[in-house]
Structure 1
Amino acid sequence: MRALKSNPNPQLPDWSAQFEVLAKKARHPGLRQYYQAGVVPAQTSIDEVQFLAMDVETTGLNPQAHSIVSIGLIPFTLQRIHCSQAQYWVLKPTSELSEKSVTFHHITHTEILNAPTFEAVLDPLLEAMAGKVMVVHYRNLERAFLGQAVLRLLKEELAFPVIDTMQLEARIHRQKRGWFARLMRRSQASIRLADSRERYNLPAYHAHHALTDALATAELLQAQIATLHSPSTPVGALWN
């Protein structure tokens, strides 16, 4: 991978510099190693980046009151999705399952009875994330819940760069919609994962399974880049 030593465009988030600072502050050995692995510079071409598609299912939508019940991870590049390296965990949540959450993700009380805690999977999770750019569909969920889980457990911060396929889709349809459509108050296109995939002729998958949704998100980013962006687009133009 091409090594770039600086961030010539100050408008792009400089995650490399942030990781250097966080590595010095981290007390937990696994978290310190994660930050020491670093992250690619913002100007790196997106076709040179190692990604990790990620999805979490939760007991609710409030990271302060609810918790993670499953995590799905799949490493990939623009050229290939590494399904053989996928990881999936059902976890024992720190908050109660609700009837509504079970309806969404279909993870029952029986399945979590002997499931590992978040603490038990933290080290392999950090190892999988090290050196990669996360890809999610709606970053406010994954980033908030993972950050809160680590803060609750370690009293330390978990930070990571994210490309949000939902945000990329929102940008596209905000531009397409234009001023005339807004004037006429036409409804916006849905940017939910399944609806976004359908626009790129990607197959329909069963929703709300963390590993399946991670795969669906990886495929969606590949389609978005192939259709709407150049492979030489700097990763910093797309991440948050």
Structure 2
Amino acid sequence: MFYLKKQELKTDPLQLLSKNWQKTMQQLELSAKDARLKAFYQAGAVAAGTALQDIHYVALDFETTGLDPVRDGIVSIGLVPLTLERIYSSKAQSYLVKPRIQLKDSSVIVHGITDSVIAQAPDLEQYIEPLLQALAGKVVLVHHLPIERAFLYHGLMSRIKEGVVFPMIDTLALERGFTQSGLKGWWRSMTAQAKPSLRLADCRRRYQLPAYQPHHAVTDAMGCAELFQAQVARHLSASTPVGKLWS
């Protein structure tokens, strides 16, 4: 996964939405033209008051050709289903995707996916149905929501003339709140201490989670899933309403 500042994203579909995800999904079902999108939105969203312990999640991660969701493309997808108590690693899914643009040397260095690796890979359009089916009715976990949401939105927009949006919980944003707010954040500003890194590996290290090879979509999705469980155990409660965390 790549990282960038939120203001670097040229288009943020989240700006068009409210946090009433049940109502939003109903409206999107009515307006969707693609049958796959209609079926996805029909699955709906859980109520905002639903406790974290009562939800089924999917951790999602993309590797991409670069940082621009309009001009760049997705080259791999990782999906890991979980609940607050268990990660279903045997049901994890990993897809290689052939983008519609040339791979960049700078991105190949990061994720190691070369032209030969994706030479026979399908286009993202072939994954739309299985991807949406895997996410339908779930709360999606990501680490760095703006880039993950925008890449999927524009990836579909360029293929079926419709984007897709749904509720997500951003483990990066959660960690920012846990490490940079309150007394600790005040003391850090007074003493000119550097802000803690929010990269996935560094966030995991603060919870004594094992180190994984970064920039592999399914491994990063697994890392995001484990991080979320650890964040809830340390800072939140299993009874916390999901509406307090999602965007």
Do both proteins adopt the same fold according to a TM-score greater than 0.5, normalized to the shorter chain? Answer: yes
Asked if 1:102 is matched to 2:108, the reply is: yes
Decide which of 191, 198, 223 is 2:230's aligned counterpart: 223
Question: 1:87 is aligned with what amino acid?
Answer: Q
Residues 51-200 of structure 1 aligned to structure 2 (within 5 Å): 51-175=57-181, 176-200=183-207
Q: TM-score, normalised by structure 2?
A: 0.91
Q: Give distance in 2, aligned partners of 1:178 and 1:214.
A: 28
Kindly state the Cα deviation for residue 177 of structure 1 after the two structures are TM-superposed.
3.0
Quote how far apart the aligned CAs of 1:157 are. 2.6
CA distance in 1 between partners of 2:141 and 2:78 (Å): 12
CA distance in structure 1 between the partners assigned to 2:106 and 2:163 by the alignment: 30
Query: Bigger CA drift: 171-180 or 203-212?
Result: 171-180
Say if 2:53 and 2:84, in contact at 8 Å, map to a contact too.
yes
The one-letter amino acid of 1:46's match is L
**Which consecutive residues of structure 2, in runs of 5 or more, have no partner in the other structure?**
1-17
SS at match of 1:70: strand
Indicate conservation of the 8 Å contact 1:55/1:71, yes or no: yes
Does the CA-based 8 Å contact 1:177-1:188 persist in structure 2? no
Q: How does 1:204-219 map to 2 (within 5 A)?
A: 204-219=211-226
Q: What's the CA shift string for 1:179-211, capped at 9, x where partnerless?
A: 232133211111110000011010000000000
Q: Which runs of 5+ in 1 are unaligned?
A: 1-11
Structure 1 partner of 2:3: none
Give runs of ≥4 in structure 1 deviating > 6 Å: none
State the secondary structure of the residue aligned to 2:120: coil
Q: TM-score, normalised by structure 1?
A: 0.93
**1:201 corresponds to which of 174, 188, 208:** 208
Counterpart amino acid of residue 151 in structure 1 = M
Distance 1:177 1:184 in 2: 11
Aligned partner of 1:20: which letter?
A: Q
Count of aligned positions: 229
Once superposed, what is the RMSD of the aligned Cα atoms?
A: 1.0
Tell me, in whole angstroms, the C-alpha distance in 1 between the residues paired with 2:242 and 2:119. 41
Deviation per CA, 1:47-71, whole angstroms, max 9, x where unpaired? 1011000000000001111100000
Pairwise mapping of residues 21-32 of structure 1 onto structure 2 (< 5 A)? 21-32=27-38
